[in-house]
Amino acid sequence: MRVARVLCLLLAVAAAAPAGALAQSQSKHPVRMLVPLPTGGQSDVVARLIATVLRESLGQPVVVENRPGASGRIAVDALKSAPADGSALLFAPVAVPVFVPLVFKDVNYDPEKDLAPISQVSRYWFAFVVAADHPARTLAEFVAWAKANAARATYGTPGAGSLPHYLGVMLRQSAGIELVHVAYKGAAAAGADVISGQIAAAVSAVSDFAPLHRAGRLRILAVSGAERSPLVPAVPTFREQGYPAIEASGWHGVYAPAGTPKRVIDQYSAAIAAAVQTPELRDKLAALGLEPTGTTPEGLAAITANDIERWRPIVKATGFAPE
C-alpha cells in the first residue's frame, strides 16, 4: 500500500468519526503528545510516528512534547493538569501506568482513575544475555553456572524497579539461584559491562541486544515472549526452556486525561488502530523490534489492570524500595 492510500485510510477514519468529536479535535491549538522520556529513544521514536499519522488523520498539528524525569511522573502531572478535551495525550511505556505506581510510594496518580485509555500501540519482548565468551550457551547451562559461581552471578538492567529487573527476580526464584541485580542508566551501559565481564548477564528489550548478538559480541540465551522474537528467531523463549512463569512483554500505550469525552477517545483509538495495521507503519515498528497492536480503549484498560494485578505480588515479594 502506497503512502497516498495510507493517508486516505486515515482520513476515512477521521471522516467516519462523530461530527462532535472531529470538531472538538480541530481546534486552532495543536494537540500535545506528552512523552515521559528524552528524545531519541525507542518510545520517543514511536511517539513521533504515531503523532505523524494522527496529524494526517485529524488535519491539525500534533506536537510531541518530551517531559522526562521522576520516572514519568512529570509527564503524568502535565497530563492531569491539561484540559480533558483531547488537546493533550500521553504516550507511555508500560512502566508509567504499571510499575511506577507499584514501586514508588510518592506517586500522586492512580493509573486506573487518572488516565483514560485510548489504545495500546505496540508490544515487545525482553532478552536475557551473557557475553559471547561466557561458558553458558543455554539457559540451563547458565543456571548451572550460577549455582557453581554464586558470588559472580550478577545481572544488569536499564533501571531498578523496571520490568527487566523483575524478570531477573523471577528467574532467580524459579531456578533457585543467587542472582544479584545491578541497576544501570540504560541498556547500552549494561551490555558493555556484560561484554567486558564486569557483570555476568543483562536483561533488556530484545532490540537493545539483537545487533550485538548478531555481531557475535553478546549471546542471547532466552526471550520473554509467548513466541520467539522475529529479531532473533533461533533463540528459544524462557517457556521453551522450562520456565513457563517467565513470560512478559513491554508495551506502549496512549492515554488522555480522565474525563475526556468518549467520542474523542474513540476517534483517537480508531485512527491509531487503522494506522498500525498499514504495511508502512508495521514495517517501521518491526524494524524497532515492536509488534503493532492497536487495541480499543477497553482493551488497553484491561491490559493495564491485568498487568497491575499480575506484577503487584511480584514487586511486593522483592521488598525493593527505591531511595
Out of 58-62, 83-87, 309-313, pick the least confident. 58-62
Residue 227: phi and psi, rounded to 5, are -130, 165
Q: What is the DSSP letter of 221?
A: E
Q: What pairs with residue 205 in β-bridges?
A: 126
Same domain, 201 and 284: no
Q: What does the block give as the cell for 136?
A: 553458558
Q: Hey, is 275 helix, strand or coil?
A: helix
109 in the same domain as 257: yes
Q: Of 213, 241, 269, which marks where a domain is finished?
A: 241
Phi and psi of 12, rounded to 5°? Answer: -65, -40
Indicate the residue among 241, 268, 287 that finishes a domain: 241
Using 50, 70 and 90 to split pLDDT, how confident is the model at 314? confident
Domain that holds residue 273: 3-124+249-318
- Give 90-107 pLDDT, tens digit per residue: 999 999 999 999 998 889
Say if residue 259 is in the same domain as residue 297.
Answer: yes
Q: Give tens-digit pLDDT for 141-193.
A: 999 999 999 999 999 998 888 899 999 999 999 999 999 999 888 888 999 99
Does residue 144 fall inside a structural domain? yes
On whether both 13 and 114 belong to a single domain, the answer is yes
Considering only 28-37, 124-133, 195-204, 261-270, which range has the smallest mean pLDDT?
Answer: 28-37
What is the DSSP track for 13-43? HHHHS-HHHHHHH--SSPEEEEESS-TTSHH
Tell me the CA distances in angstroms from 99 to 83, 105, 276, 281, one per residue in order: 26, 11, 25, 28
With 50 as the cut, is the pLDDT of residue 3 above it?
no
Q: Is residue 233 part of a domain?
A: yes
Which carries the bigger pLDDT value, residue 17 or residue 82? 82
Rounded Cα gap, residues 275 and 261, in angstroms: 22
Question: Regarding beta strands 218-223 and 291-292, do their DSSP bridges make them parallel or antiparallel, or are they unpaired?
Answer: unpaired
Instruction: Specify whether the backbone of 195 is left (phi greater than 0), alpha (psi in -120 to 50) or beta.
Output: alpha
pTM summary value: 0.82
Exposed / middle / buried, residue 185 (Cβ in 10 Å: 0-12, 13-18, 19+): exposed
pLDDT of amino acid 16 = 40
Assess if residue 323 is contained within a domain.
Answer: no
Say if 133 falls within a structural domain: yes
